[in-house]
């Protein structure tokens, strides 16, 4: 029950951030996908996870700051049995350092995002809590369509153990 409370609290906190007054002349809401494949160092050879619901929602909350929420619904490919492996959410706060165009354009340019991730591992029943940073670049292809490419560096706590986190991030979608 405590894991569910922690997830609920994290979602409530992130949702409350969306109430910050944003610039109303710009496209504020981004909906996209972030295809992902995960192979942890402690997995056996040939085992990996696929995010089967890679949804992303991002919202501009201040001139150069956004909040981004990503669903984590991983399906584990394992030697013995394939099944749902992780359920969780990732919260990021992209801070656009330069390249941000004044309204009405959506967020663009180089950014650095602190990230908090929480997921319940379904196979071993472990709680995964991640804290990392993501340097990235957000490209705008037209007034509405966007793509970001970045790296994630940090640590993930699995119950009481700490493991390194390193990965690439690719997101594409549309601003509304």
pLDDT top residue among 166 and 91: 91
pLDDT tens digits along 72-104: 999 999 999 999 999 999 999 999 987 555 555
Q: How do residues 101-120 score in pLDDT, each as one tens digit?
A: 555 568 889 999 999 999 99
Cβ atoms 174, 29 nearer than 8 A: no
The domains of the chain, with CATH numbers, are 2-175 (2.40.160)
Q: Would the pLDDT of 25 be above 60? A: no
- Look at residue 100 in the predicted model and tell me its pLDDT: 55
The tokens describing 52, both together, are: 């089967």
Six-digit token string for 29? 């809401």
Q: pTM of the predicted model, to two decimals?
A: 0.82
In terms of C-beta density within 10 A (0-12 exposed, 13-18 middle, 19 or more buried), how is residue 15 classed? exposed
- How many residues appear in the chain? 176
Nearest to 57 by CA among 71, 73, 69: 69
Q: Which two tokens stand for residue 73?
A: 């619904």
């Amino acid at each position: 029950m405590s894991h569910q409370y922690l997830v609920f609290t994290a979602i409530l906190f992130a949702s409350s951030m969306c109430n910050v007054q944003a610039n109303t002349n710009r496209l504020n809401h981004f909906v996209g996908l972030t295809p992902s494949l995960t192979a942890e160092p402690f997995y056996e050879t040939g085992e990996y996870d696929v995010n089967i619901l890679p949804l992303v929602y991002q919202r501009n909350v201040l001139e150069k700051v956004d909040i981004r929420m990503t669903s984590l619904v991983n399906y584990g490919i394992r030697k013995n049995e394939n099944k749902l492996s992780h359920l969780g959410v990732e919260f990021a706060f992209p801070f656009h350092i330069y390249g941000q165009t004044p309204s009405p354009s959506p967020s663009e340019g180089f950014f650095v995002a602190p990230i908090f991730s929480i997921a319940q591992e379904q196979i071993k029943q472990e709680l995964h809590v991640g804290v990392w940073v993501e340097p990235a670049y957000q490209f705008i292809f037209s007034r509405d369509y966007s793509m970001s490419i970045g790296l994630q560096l940090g640590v993930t706590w699995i119950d009481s153990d700490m493991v390194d986190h390193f990965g690439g991030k690719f997101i594409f979608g549309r601003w509304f």
